[in-house]
Copies of this chain bind each other. A is one copy, B any other.
Amino acid sequence: MTTKLRRQSKIKELVQKHQIASHEELLEYLAKEDIEITQATLSRDFAAMGIIKTITEKGMKYSVSADETGRDIVKIIGFEVLGIEHNESVVMIRTLAGRAQGVAHFIDRTHIPEIMGTLGGDDTVLIIPKSVKDIKKIVQQIGNYLTEDT
């Protein structure tokens, strides 16, 4: 496991274990684990990992977003998706086994307006369009999400 991956794993652990309200606080916890980075690097880690500010009864704290809005998710989806196809009525995304639900989750969060609903099976995501006229547009937009610069 590389230094960065180890660091990010530790960040995830610390953020779940403690009520951390600032970058500075987390940098102190990391320093205790012999991980020395600057606030700038931590800021980028948060963005990559999808760590967000949330409000609890104790005040504000950082949390790993349940809906993984982190920037690195696109690379993961790219790895998981095998292909995108469609017929006259539906769009189908084929994925690696067991990974369709994660991909469906990602598609849901793109909020593509032409999509009526998604169904994730084991290795297939079914995308139901609001109108079959939008199928090409849906395929185009999904393709855009998957290829946008990282």
Once bound together, how far apart are the Cα atoms of A99 and B95, in whole Å? 13
**What's the least CB distance linking A84 to chain B, in Å?**
10
A72 is an interface residue with CB less than 8 A from chain B: yes
A66 on interface, CB distance cutoff 8 Å: yes
Contact with B along A51-73 (1 / 0, CB 8 A): 00000000000001011100011
A105 CB to nearest B CB, Å: 3
**A25 interface residue per 8 A CB criterion:** no
Separation of A99 and B79 alpha carbons in the complex (Å): 14
A17 CB to nearest B CB, Å: 9
Contact with B along A109-150 (1 / 0, CB 8 A): 000000000001011000000000000000000000011111
Q: 6 tightest A-B contacts by CB?
A: A98-B105, A68-B96, A98-B101, A99-B102, A98-B102, A66-B97
Which residues of A approach B to under 8 Å, CB–CB?
Answer: 1-2, 5-6, 8-9, 12-13, 16, 49, 64, 66-68, 72-73, 75-76, 78-80, 82-83, 96-102, 104-106, 120, 122-123, 146-150
